[in-house]
Structure 1
Amino acid sequence: MIRSRIVIIGAGFAGYRTAHTLSRLARGKAGITLLNPTDHFLHLPLLPHVATGVLEPRRVTVSLPGTLPDVRLVLGEADGVDLEQHKVTYTDPEGTRGELSYDRLVLSVGSANKLLPVPGVAEHTHGFRGLPEALYLRDHITRQVELAAAAPDAETCRARCTFVVAGAGHTGVGLAAHGRLFTDALVRKGALWNGIRPRWLLLDTADRVLPGLDERLSATADRVLRGRGVDVRTGTSVKEATPEGVLLDDGEFIGTRTLAWCVGVRPDPLVAGLGRPLERGRLRVDPWLSVPGHPEVFACGDAAAVPDQHHPGRYTPMTARHAWRQGATAAHNVAATLGHGTRRRYRHRDLGSTVDLGGAKAAANPLGIPLSGPLAGAVTRGHHLAAMPGNRVRVAADWLLDALLPRQAVQFGLVRSATAPLDTASPGLARFPAAAPHPTDDRHDPHAQEPSRHRANHREDPHDQQ
């Protein structure tokens, strides 16, 4: 008996859920191959915990071979799909080219950092979409505080202790909230010039933080951020980034050595090369997540423009919650084409949102009930644990230890500036240029990075709401 060949590209929220659900539905009657650059699933909402030393990197990752035993893992980056020949080409981690043939294909390639035509951003900024970026940022923040303590003058000290976050969506708010607690803890261990304290700025062009969420959640997050001393500036954007600081669109220059780029995401450029209709860079699919004209091809997650059944004429936003649910729908519909079950439309129900603000603080509205303070914090962390497909005990243990013990403020310099570039289609992979900079290099060192796998046009996608 010849088994159907199913290839899934990408192991983010959508791809992992598709592989996990499909392996159960297929019951060994189909050969499932998962193509992904890394051997793990990354729980993106917990990246701020990694960047600020709350969680170790392995805590927010889940082994693909360990949790998907009936799925064949192929390590590699997809760089082409031939829809007519039913083939996928890829490059493995050692540069060897490969090819996969399929009877059914699921495109769940996800997204990358959103790019904007702002001078200096590509050279002096880092995104926040993968472990390399989180690890680099943790080292960088620690290093800046340590260098500030030994700065020759107050101006240099102040600049090194100023941290700017562009983008007040889920990612930016989480980073600023956790980051402020982290730098305050670092400074308690060492005196700075004349009582200088770390300064965090959170910028966004919208009129409020978390512009895509309920206004009560936005108000709660804004109150917590300002209460911690975060300088929240709405209606403000970056005009230019330089090695010495950031020029804002109102003409103010902020001296800083840190600009974190959290303005949102763009679909993986791989889908643009398919020659199929796009919606602002996302591959158009029907309500059953199949690609029109190619019933054997499905797409889900950030790279798919999925019709929103509750808002006709609109598409579901690029969020982890939608990607996770779409993965389950894609799995059922692929299985239906193999004779297992019936197709189903993608529908969703808004069960509320949670925003982790660090410490015991959070903003949440489960089932529409607005919560704040420690209760919201407990609900939010419980939601994270429930959503993770593994490592729950280890994550909970690290949270408990962080509440009881001081964080270890050390920086290793293992992830260098040029190995975590902003312009890359695979934020989960560190890039190793031929001429790597010195281990102590910071974000201002020249990016001698190898070219990104794809170069995408600048797009105006909604703010990232993981």
Structure 2
Amino acid sequence: MFLSFSAVFAGRNCCRTQQSHRQSVFSPTAWPHLFSGAQRVERGRRATSQGRRARSLLSTRTFCMSSSQEDQPKSKSMASLRPKVCVLGGGFGGLYTALRLCQLPWGRDLRRYEAAARTPQRESTFSVDNSERRRASDTSKQSASQRLVAGQRTRPELTLIDTRERFVFLPLLYELVTGEMGIWEVAPPFAELLEDTDVDFLQAQVQHIDLDKRRVTVRPMMPSNASESKESDEIISYDRLVIALGSEDTRDMVPGAREHALGFRSVEDAIRIRERVRLLESSSQPTIRIVIVGGGYSGVELACNLSDRLGPRAQIQIVDRGRELMAASTAYNRSQATRALRLRNISFVPETSVVSVGPNSLRLSYAEKSGDRAPPASETTLEQIDLVLWTAGNRINKVIREGLIASRQVERNERGQLLTDRFLRLPNYPEVIVLGDAAQIREPVAAVPVVTREQPRGMTAQIALQEADFAAWNTWASLTGREPLPFQYVHLGEMITLGRDDGSVQLLGLLNLSGPLAHQLRRLAYIARMPTDAHRLRVGASYVAQPLLRILEGVLAVGNDVLDALGQGRGTRAPGCPFTANQDTQQQQQRQQSWSSSTAPRSDESS
């Protein structure tokens, strides 16, 4: 083998010598050395032929080795060399992190880089020491066959785990309730989105997370029904873990809310609301009473869309325990939301809490203002309610609250969110990245000052989408020996829907829009943020085709009206018609009489 490689390199060097000789053979100074140059050319040709034979032999051995490895099953030692990256949660943070990991270049041999000393004082605990860098540089000196075998292990094993079978684009869930968009547009299946990627999707429910042993206990869901799960649990080990489990609603905290109120967080919730609204719409009752618990983004947007669908029959109330409508929003969007509610006669009841929820009733607790003294709490009951919708509050996922197993300290805030460093990592477990609703960065976030220096507000999809890019990069950097990047927030603005053809948009603190133009701009912006290019193209084509179909329906309706006018005229000559409607009717009656007389039996024949 050493001789073969020597022949290869000798052939390459002699080829270079031959090229340089050809370039200088016609110079006058080259004539005395022409004979010696010819000898060198001959030796170069021989060495080149030997190098070709050596390369062909090497390629043959490499092909045999690769084919034999493909025929034989992969051993556990080879499979264990691929790092395992596990992503928990298929929302904006989890799915987009997995997709970004597939797009990053995995061009170097991956190793299971062990995290450095787990001390919160160090900012970059993923820095690679010199010994690991030497081992990584030694891989470049391997033979071609060894690099080919190592190339099969360059990409990690990516696994995405979620309890649902569909990804839900939450900002467009209102269009699913009103029927403006279909399920395939708002909630595409994970199998469809991850079809052309290296991500393995597992529909399972996370039970426990053991941070010390680096493994996750899951319970796979039944394929036929996502609400049922198998009895046996599975254990999944990981080298890097991304936690993006999101949050849950607070219906369990109020008696009767889980049984008698409908949530608004999933496709199933949107379908239930749509069916209930359809039944109420088809009923004969003059007034439809709806109470929405929660005066945030979801409550206001849902109230406006339901009011536009039900029309003047809808009597909608928004109940919130805060003092202000959409407290986390900007002043411009709050003013537009107030305008939209006033235009639709939707009442807002502030500083009111829900005590209990009944089949057709709602018990509320509110504070009566009585001067400077502390107001006493009073309770009242709303009767004859047709529909109660719950959009109030979020709480951390149950796995984050109760399912974490860790011997070292895991810091939390007052809401139960996990505190991370500015690289989105747990301080004592730097191989774990937490983002989305389950995390809060304990250090001040560096916001990019586009126009105004805004800090992240609340739990929004905009923050989760931006954190997904940094989570994917830092995971990739930890496996390839690169430096992580601190999270930087760019406040792009806010977009809300206020009905079928109404909305409010504030972009970069410079552009404020409202009305139909803002509604269309919001729809286009969300279509552009769809997970994959294929799904983005399909949804965009459907968005463009809908107005064309409406125009075509209008043209057909006008055509039908014209045809009806031509067939039911009152003696006037229609444009383009050679005869009047009365003449046409008389001709039809004459033909009918002649046909009846020809088919009637004659008297002589009967006799």
Alpha-carbon deviation of 1:239? Answer: 3.4
2:219 to 85, 88, 91: 91
Cα distance, 1:92 vs structure 2 = 1.0
Match of 1:47 in 2: 173
CA distance in 1, matches of 2:381, 2:187: 40
1:113 aligns with 2:240: no
1:309 corresponds to 2:440: no
1:297-339, Cα deviation, whole Å (9 max, x unpaired): 1111111122441599x97631111111111111111111112
Residue 398 of structure 2 is aligned with which of 269, 278, 295?
269
CA deviation digits over 1:192-219, x for unaligned, max 9?
Answer: xxxx822111222223321101111111
Q: Distance in 2 between matches of 1:227 and 1:15?
A: 39
Q: Does the aligned pair in 2 maintain the 1:5–1:104 contact within 8 Å?
A: yes
1:54-203 residue pairs with structure 2 within 5 A? 54-68=180-194, 69-94=197-222, 95=230, 96-115=232-251, 117-146=253-282, 148-149=283-284, 158=287, 161-184=288-311, 197-203=313-319
**CA distance in structure 1 between the aligned counterparts of 2:428 and 2:272, rounded to whole angstroms:** 43
On the 8 A contact 2:252/2:258 being kept in 1, the answer is: no
Q: Which has the higher helix share?
A: 2
CA distances 1:211-263 after superposition (whole Å, capped 9, x unpaired): 10111111101101221222233333333322122233343524212110001
Query: How many angstroms apart in 2 are the aligned matches of 1:180 and 1:342?
Result: 52
* Corresponding residue of 1:383: 525
| Alignment deviations for residues 351-391 of structure 1 (CA, whole Å, 9 cap, x no partner) | 11000112221011111122111221122112211121243
Q: Supply the RMSD in Å over aligned alpha carbons.
A: 2.5
Cα 1:404/1:173, change in 2 over 3 Å? farther
C-alpha displacement of 1:39: 3.3
Aligned to 2:473: 332
Counterpart Cα distance in 1 of 2:549 and 2:502: 16
- Is the aligned partner of 1:37 residue 2:163? yes
| Counterpart in the other structure of 1:278 | 412
TM-score of the superposition, structure 2-length normalised? Answer: 0.60
**Distance in 2 of aligned mates of 1:53 and 1:5:** 41
Structure 2 vs 1, CA of residues 98 and 402 (structure 1 numbering), >3 Å: closer, same or farther? Answer: farther
* Distance in 2 separating the partners of 1:351 and 1:89: 38
In 1: Cα distance, 2:543 partner to 2:446 partner:
39
What amino acid does structure 2 have at the position aligned with 1:163?
I
Aligned to 2:145: none
> Residue 404 and residue 247 in structure 1: after superposition, are their counterparts in 2 closer, same or farther (change >3 A)?
farther
For structure 1, the residue ranges without an aligned partner over 5 or more in a row are 152-156, 185-195, 406-466
- Which is higher, the Rg of structure 1 or of structure 2? 2
**Conservation of the 8 A alpha-carbon contact between 1:55 and 1:395:** no
Deviation of 1:278 after TM superposition, in Å, equals: 1.7
Are the counterparts in 1 of residues 419 and 426 from structure 2 also a CA contact under 8 Å? yes
The residue number in structure 2 matching 1:154 is: none
- Which has the higher relative contact order, 1 or 2, with Cα contacts under 8 A spaced 6 or more apart? 1
Identity between Structure 1 and Structure 2 (%): 29
**Where does residue 75 of structure 2 map in the other structure?**
none
2:319 & 2:396 partners in 1: Cα distance?
A: 23
Matched, 1:248 2:375: no
Letter in 2 for 1:64: F
The aligned amino acid for 1:386 is A
Partner of 2:485: 344
- Between 14-23 and 269-278, the greater mean CA deviation after superposition: 269-278
Query: What's the secondary structure of 1:278's corresponding residue?
Result: coil
